[in-house]
Chain A
């Protein structure tokens, strides 16, 4: 395929205007020694028809969540995606634009992001939100750095019940910054509150809890809030946005920064990306926030409009003194999230959350009645739960695969102490037949 427009006549005119005979002359400033001789060793170009067939074949080598019944979650969630979302984000005025540096011709994206920020504030119970970050994990890493900047300390307490890959990303981001990461252990699937309190001192910049946590358990932030004494450290919560239609928002428990993965809001699984990290915070932190922020203002005729604001925090103005290096974020994914939240609305999002909760609970109760599957953790859970099995998890999942089921995540992968433990996810997409089929197949494994 060829997406360039020039005819022979065009080329002749342009070369003449520039004063060259051959296009090669435009590259004469490149030293001969570094010029690439010959042809790049890549597959030859193809027609659109061939391209579509080629990629179709490649895509068909994958087994999809339509082919199998999927019980994998763990940070990437299979929720129903209403048709309107793809139609809206396929409006090419949105997806072929870039960062809205010129507000007069970018009011559409700016207003959509302003609305997105409002929705994120509403869900999290916070005062301000940015326009999105790369994903939940990098959003947490940014929140940790933001806390260190704001507080002036470099010690961070992180519960081991947060997504293990999030913890890995935090460690990667902070490894060259003298930031100390202290991992807080868990008991019965919940953050060990005593250990958290013991480690929390006046050198601590922030403490991090996931809500619901990686095991699906809704951590008791109420008790945590009453038990943790007043101190300077910031309270960072990693939250599941859909659960927040049902659960008390982290803001109500005194959270200072709330981050999380926004993929579940209308974005496909897509093998892990692109997703979007959301970040909301208390107002006092806004000037330390990373990324784009949209603000409302007036034009010369007093007409309401929107602009990128507080840009003096950002790399293109502040360079090495910026709050972060982030430039491109995940605007189109944030747009999808806003459309999803608009479609679901106040009542629909709660209904989705309720279905997740009730269906997950139905499966859990019934799995635990089976012979080789056991309850191990305490506390209420949202859409994911942990069971211990007498089977080897790898074997179990292989068996389930024969019945077109993607079983649960083998937790030993991240927690060596959790051998034979399975993390199972149930969203509103699962039917009674599917859950019963899964139960029957689990029971049938010997």
Chain B
């Protein structure tokens, strides 16, 4: 099984080609007539030269060396690796969605604008917010956008001195990174023994310099912040705003809404909650929702509807807006898939999604805690975190458990996150997995726990079934080789 795969450059042979282009015999001019020589390239770029079948086999072979949701169970915590419906792929490829230029006149893109306008409405309803922007391209881009909106609002009301953003120690790394990118200082809030925000610590930290608290609810331990109303009151009393990281929104649709919990700003990850594929690391989409008072600060353009004329248009006239966070209007192709998903499952379907996501997580947790240490033994939401602490006594680390799971045919859970759990394994099954799949996974985890005790070396040297074994990540980071060069 183990074998090196040639790079496309190593398959290349001068003279081979895939491309074909129409003849250009009706133009007599030459490149050198039009561009001065000093601006012309002397040596062509080293691009591969292959015929089409070589290309197709190369990438097909590469795809076989990759694991996706379609290959098998993918319980990667905080990433919501649910099934990506095929119909959405077809829909997003309708030529009426792909072959439209962003600068076409509004009357020629009414379908696209209507879709985005309605998507805004749907996301408002699901989140309990008043206004949405679809512009951000990913969750962390949404965070940055949301925080800039907060900053602009605070400046506008004369509270621009507020420099602190509070972030729980269980938060995603993007939260503090986004806050820093927006010029805020990050203050970490410790979690309490129940895995939630420590109220006393929050009270001590929230003051006249607090701009916002960023909170994921349910949090990254998969636990619902039960004190959310008190948290909201403390932050608002101090004059700060409440930011909702929607990475875990798959747990709450139709059950509770960030807007009703007191959040002022929300971002969604359409590639998590709304079933759009993760694409090997994007494209995603990170729409941001806000309460009314923050609306003037959202990015431009906004999508509006002229009700009488039944006409959709782009509104750039928002003088207090933070500006644009990208070109054009958002990851439209991703938004199309998420829109189709919402229309397909409807309001009852969305609630069922969250119910089953939570049911699946609680079922898995109830079985896995027999073999793994469960640091927070209480009802979870859509995900939970176990610790490899027991296995660590035999020298088997969370990383080893993850690698051994690969041999059983699974993508491993998120490991070593959240940082507050030792040897963390963060597991999110999602609602689309069947009881049989969950049981098989439980069985694999049970066997690995046994192996860790009886034959720890077997786990520590895993994986055995993959195209490569464990890779040396240290040497490459010291002396990175990030591109191919001809030898």
A88 within 8 A of B: yes
- Selected from A1, A166, A315, A380, the residue in CB contact (under 8 A) with B327 is A166
A13 within 8 A of B: yes
Scoring A87, A320, A348 by chain B CB atoms within 10 A of each residue's CB, the highest score goes to A320
Contact B254 A39 (CB under 8 A): yes
Would you list which residues of chain B between 183 and 230 have a CB under 8 Å from chain A? Answer: 183, 186, 223-224, 226, 228-229
B104 within 8 A of A: yes
Given A6-B356, A114-B482, CB of A297 within 8 Å of CB of B476: yes
* CB closest chain-A residue, reference B271: A328
Measured between beta carbons, the chain B residues less than 8 angstroms from A65 are: 99-101
Measured between beta carbons, the chain A residues less than 8 angstroms from B148 are: 172, 175-176
Contact A96 B468 (CB under 8 A): no
Contact A329 B8 (CB under 8 A): no
Measured between beta carbons, the chain A residues less than 8 angstroms from B237 are: none
Q: Which of B287-295, B361-369, B385-393, B451-459 contacts A (4 or more CB under 8 A)?
A: B361-369
Contact B98 A95 (CB under 8 A): no
A199 within 8 A of B: no
B463 within 8 A of A: yes
Given A40-B350, A72-B103, CB of A271 within 8 Å of CB of B332: yes
B69 within 8 A of A: yes
- How far is the CB of A403 from the nearest CB of chain B, in Å? 14
B256-281 to A contact mask, C-beta < 8 Å, 1/0: 11001100000000010001011111
* CB closest chain-A residue, reference B342: A42
- Chain B interface size, as a band, is 35 or more
B391-420 to A contact mask, C-beta < 8 Å, 1/0: 000000000001100100001101001000
B307 within 8 A of A: no
Would you list which residues of chain A between 84 and 121 have a CB under 8 Å from chain B? Answer: 84, 86-88, 90-109, 111-112, 114-115, 117-119, 121
B77-97 to A contact mask, C-beta < 8 Å, 1/0: 001011111010111011111
* CB closest chain-A residue, reference B40: A248
Measured between beta carbons, the chain A residues less than 8 angstroms from B473 are: 297, 307, 309
Contact B327 A135 (CB under 8 A): yes
A289-313 to B contact mask, C-beta < 8 Å, 1/0: 0001111111111011111011110
Given A105-B406, A272-B329, A380-B36, CB of A123 within 8 Å of CB of B45: yes
Measured between beta carbons, the chain A residues less than 8 angstroms from B130 are: none
Measured between beta carbons, the chain B residues less than 8 angstroms from A55 are: 91, 94, 336, 339-340, 343
A228 within 8 A of B: no
Contact A63 B104 (CB under 8 A): yes
A401 to B107, CA, bound (A): 11
A128 to B359, CA, bound (A): 46
Scoring A88, A305, A409, A432 by chain B CB atoms within 10 A of each residue's CB, the highest score goes to A305
Contact B64 A348 (CB under 8 A): no
A239 to B275, CA, bound (A): 34
Q: Which of A26-34, A187-195, A202-210 contacts B (4 or more CB under 8 A)?
A: A26-34
Given A249-B41, A303-B2, CB of A137 within 8 Å of CB of B434: no
Contact A357 B466 (CB under 8 A): no
* CB closest chain-A residue, reference B21: A351
A359 to B221, CA, bound (A): 58
- How far is the CB of B331 from the nearest CB of chain A, in Å? 4
Contact B41 A247 (CB under 8 A): yes
Contact A59 B97 (CB under 8 A): yes
Measured between beta carbons, the chain A residues less than 8 angstroms from B41 are: 244-249
Measured between beta carbons, the chain A residues less than 8 angstroms from B434 are: 5-6, 10
- Selected from B7, B36, B174, the residue in CB contact (under 8 A) with A327 is B174
Closest 10 CB pairs of A and B: A272-B328, A45-B346, A59-B96, A61-B111, A348-B19, A108-B66, A332-B279, A96-B68, A274-B283, A272-B102
- Selected from A18, A88, A286, A315, the residue in CB contact (under 8 A) with B363 is A18
Measured between beta carbons, the chain B residues less than 8 angstroms from A87 are: 56
- How far is the CB of B248 from the nearest CB of chain A, in Å? 13
Scoring A28, A34, A221, A432 by chain B CB atoms within 10 A of each residue's CB, the highest score goes to A34
> What are 7 pairs between A and B in contact, CB < 8 Å?
A29-B378, A96-B84, A102-B402, A172-B299, A303-B2, A328-B138, A358-B34
* CB closest chain-A residue, reference B258: A34
Measured between beta carbons, the chain A residues less than 8 angstroms from B487 are: none
A303 to B470, CA, bound (A): 10
A175 to B130, CA, bound (A): 25
- Selected from B101, B137, B477, the residue in CB contact (under 8 A) with A310 is B477
Measured between beta carbons, the chain B residues less than 8 angstroms from A220 are: 36, 39
Measured between beta carbons, the chain B residues less than 8 angstroms from A333 are: 279, 282-283
B421 within 8 A of A: no
A342-382 to B contact mask, C-beta < 8 Å, 1/0: 11111111111011011101100000000000000000100
Given A115-B7, A332-B279, CB of A104 within 8 Å of CB of B56: no
* CB closest chain-A residue, reference B44: A346
Contact A105 B345 (CB under 8 A): no
Given A26-B358, A60-B96, A107-B65, CB of A345 within 8 Å of CB of B17: yes
Contact A46 B344 (CB under 8 A): yes
A94 to B71, CA, bound (A): 10
- Selected from B179, B349, B414, the residue in CB contact (under 8 A) with A45 is B349
Contact A26 B379 (CB under 8 A): yes
A177-192 to B contact mask, C-beta < 8 Å, 1/0: 1100000000000000
- Selected from A45, A72, A166, the residue in CB contact (under 8 A) with B101 is A72
B443-474 to A contact mask, C-beta < 8 Å, 1/0: 00000000000000000010100111111110
Measured between beta carbons, the chain B residues less than 8 angstroms from A23 are: 355, 358-359
- How far is the CB of B465 from the nearest CB of chain A, in Å? 9
A446 within 8 A of B: no
Contact B482 A72 (CB under 8 A): no
A416 within 8 A of B: no
Contact A326 B406 (CB under 8 A): no
* CB closest chain-B residue, reference A296: B481
* CB closest chain-B residue, reference A5: B434
Given A322-B173, A339-B55, CB of A44 within 8 Å of CB of B347: yes
- Selected from B48, B62, B278, the residue in CB contact (under 8 A) with A112 is B62
- How far is the CB of B448 from the nearest CB of chain A, in Å? 15
Given A26-B359, A82-B18, CB of A272 within 8 Å of CB of B47: no
* CB closest chain-B residue, reference A325: B177
A215 within 8 A of B: no
* CB closest chain-A residue, reference B55: A342
B114 within 8 A of A: yes
Contact B475 A297 (CB under 8 A): yes
- Selected from B84, B110, B114, B431, the residue in CB contact (under 8 A) with A4 is B431
B159 within 8 A of A: no
Contact B55 A138 (CB under 8 A): no
* CB closest chain-A residue, reference B85: A3
In addition to A26-B362, A123-B45, 9 A-B residue pairs with Cβ atoms within 8 Å of each other are A18-B366, A34-B256, A40-B347, A62-B109, A111-B65, A128-B480, A273-B333, A293-B482, A309-B482
